[in-house]
């Protein structure tokens, strides 16, 4: 199985690479900067991993970079402004997609905008696969299986200490921002 990690040079990407490397999974790193991809691969103990350069603003390059992968894990947030490009490229390449998003509007937009295309392409698209979203969703599903349909469930997730990534800071900025630090 070949797993592509987009955003491999960031905080979440490096954690993802380390875990995939630890389990001996074949990994491809895709991002905007070849030198940073080289460094991230070496840091994760996979210096010979396939590395491809593709920015989110180049659909053809993204599709080509994903080709042949089984799944892409998108770790490059903030997703509200950048995630749709990767979802679109994954569907076009016929590659299953997961991301580490936490922005609720983005998650809704993914299902609303890409659900039909993903189904027609035979591709599974699962946003918000992270420690704050997926466990709560799975628990809600398991509880509903045992108790029957739920009218409402509230899940709380508390983070007591962890580094705040650059993407986390950008995601908290007003939605008028198209890229972190650039007014739109």
What is the CATH architecture of 2-126? 3-Layer(aba) Sandwich (3.40)
> How does pLDDT run across 61-72, given as a tens digit for each residue?
999 999 999 999
Span 98-121, average pLDDT: 94
pLDDT-derived band at 116, boundaries 50, 70, 90: very high
Residue 156: the pLDDT is 73
Token code pair at residue 125 = 């698209």
Span 27-32, average pLDDT: 97
pLDDT-derived band at 181, boundaries 50, 70, 90: very low
Please write down the HEC assignment for all residues of the chain. CEEEEECCCCHHHHHHHHHHHHCCCEEEEEECCHHHHHHHHHHCCCCCCEEEECCCCCHHHHHHHHCCCCEEEECCCCHHHHHHHHHHHHHHHCCEEEECCCCHHHHHHHHHHHHHHHHHHCCCEECCCCCCCHHHHHHHHHHHHHHCCCCCCCCCCCCCCCCCCHHHHHHCCCCCEEECCEEC
Token code pair at residue 136 = 């709560």
Residue 8: the pLDDT is 93
Residue 137: the pLDDT is 73
98 or 155, greater pLDDT: 98
Where is average pLDDT lowest: 100-104, 108-112, 149-153? 149-153
Q: Which residues contact 1 (CB under 8 A, 6 or more apart)?
A: 25, 26, 70, 71
Residue 46: the pLDDT is 96
Where is average pLDDT lowest: 9-13, 86-90, 167-171? 167-171
Domain boundaries, the chain: 2-126, 134-183
Residue 182: the pLDDT is 38
Residue 146 has pLDDT above 60, yes or no: yes
134 or 93, greater pLDDT: 93
Residue 130: the pLDDT is 77
| Highest mean pLDDT, choosing among 25-29, 125-129, 142-146 | 25-29
């Amino acid at each position: 199985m070949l797993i592509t990690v987009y955003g491999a040079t960031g905080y979440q990407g490096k954690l993802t690479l380390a875990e995939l490397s630890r389990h001996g999974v074949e990994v491809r790193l895709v991002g905007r900067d070849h030198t940073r991809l080289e460094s991230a691969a070496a840091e994760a103990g996979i210096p010979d991993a396939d590395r491809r350069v593709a920015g989110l603003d180049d659909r053809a390059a993204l599709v080509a970079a994903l080709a042949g992968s089984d799944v892409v894990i998108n770790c490059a947030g903030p997703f509200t402004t950048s995630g749709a490009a990767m979802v679109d490229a994954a569907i076009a390449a016929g590659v299953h997609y997961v991301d580490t998003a936490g922005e609720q509007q983005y998650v809704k937009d993914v299902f609303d905008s890409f659900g039909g295309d993903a189904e027609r392409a035979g591709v599974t698209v699962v946003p918000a696969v992270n420690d704050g979203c997926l466990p709560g969703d799975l628990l809600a599903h398991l509880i509903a299986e045992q108790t029957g349909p739920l009218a409402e469930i509230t899940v709380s997730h508390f983070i007591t200490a962890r580094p705040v990534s650059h993407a986390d800071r950008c995601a908290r900025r007003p939605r008028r921002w198209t890229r972190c630090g650039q007014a739109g």
